[in-house]
Amino acid sequence: MELLQLLRLHFFIHSTTTGKDADMFEMKQFALEDSSSTMKVGTDAVLLGCIAAKTLDTRKVQHILDVGTGCGIVALMMAQRYATSTVDAIDVDSASVQEASSNFAKSPWAIRLHAKLRPLQQHSTPTAYDLIVSNPPYFSNSLKNEDARRSLARHDDNLSTNELMEHTARLLSQEGVLSVIVPAEQAESLLQSGSAYGLYPFHQVFVYGKTGKVPRLCVVDLSRDRQSDYTVGHESIADANGAYTAWYRELTQPFLLWRKN
C-alpha cells in the first residue's frame, strides 16, 4: 500500500460542500482543508511535522519558517508543538496561500500563524529563525505534471536544493535548525548541499512504508554545529503484516486521531 493511502486511513475524513467536494482533515487540535492547495495533506508532511527537531527545547523556539507551506499542515503542527512561537508560512502559489490562511484563521493559534505569498529567495525577516521546516520540491530534470500549479510545487526549477540551503543559512539564527523531508535516495545529495553552506546533520531518520521494504522517505535535521557522529534511525510505518507500528502510533499520537479498535 502506498504511503499516502496508509496516511489517509488515519483520518476521520468528512465531505463538505463548498461549491465542490473538499476533504476536511480532523486532527486532534485542529482541522484543515486541502482542496485548493498544490501540495495536499500527505505522509511526508505529517512525518515532517512529527519528527522535525524533536530534540529542541520547545521553550527556546520562538520564530519558525515553513517553506512551501501548501495547505499549511506543517505550520499548524509547529504552532501546536511550540506553544509560544510565531510561524511564518510561505509559498509561491496564491491559492495555496489563501487556503493556508483560511486554515490558520480557523485554528486555535490564528494570531501566531502568518501565510505569505513569497519565494524563499525573496524572503527576509528582522529576526532570525530558530527553526525552518520544509517539504521541498524534489523532482529534477523530469517530465512535468500536466497541472502547471502542482508541477511548480513538485519540481525544483524554482527552488533547488542549493537555493534551499543558501537561503536557509541566511535566515537561520546561529543555533537554529533546518528540518527537511526528502525521498530517501536524495538524502545524500541533500547533506552534500547542506555542508557547502555550513549546515550539517545531527539527526536523520529513514522511514519505510512497510518493514522489509526499501526506505521511502528521510527526515534530516541540520544545524551549523558540525558533528563527527550523529544519530541515524530506521523506522517503519507498518509492520510486515500491514499493521501500524508502535513507533508510528507513538510518533503521531499528539496530532492524529486514531479510531478505537
* Cell numbers representing residue 261 in the block: 479498535
CA 81 to chain centre: 14
Residue 226: domain span: 3-252
For residue 4, give the C-alpha cell: 499516502
Query: pLDDT truncated to tens, each residue of the chain (261 aa)?
Result: 444 444 544 444 333 333 434 467 889 999 999 999 888 888 999 999 999 988 888 888 999 999 999 999 999 999 999 999 999 999 999 999 999 999 999 999 999 999 999 999 999 999 999 999 999 876 344 344 455 545 454 444 578 999 999 999 999 999 999 999 999 999 999 999 999 999 999 999 999 999 999 999 999 999 999 987 888 999 999 999 999 999 999 999 999 988 665
Check: pTM over 0.95? Answer yes or no.
no
- Residue 25 maps to a domain: yes
Residue bearing cell 510565531:
86
Under 8 Å between Cβ of 43 and 237? yes
> Mind spelling out the 3-state secondary structure of 214-235?
CEEEEEEEEECCCCCCCEEEEE
Count of domains observed in the chain? 1
The answer as to whether 222 is a domain residue is yes
Please work out, in degrees rounded to the nearest 5, the angle formed at the alpha carbon of residue 255 by the alpha carbons of 27 and 211: 115
Phi, psi of 47 (to 5 degrees): -65, -45
Any domain includes 261:
no
Those residues whose C-beta lies under 8 Å from the C-beta of residue 200, and which sit 6 or more positions away, are: 191, 194, 222, 223, 224, 225, 226, 227
CATH number of 176's domain: 3.40.50.150
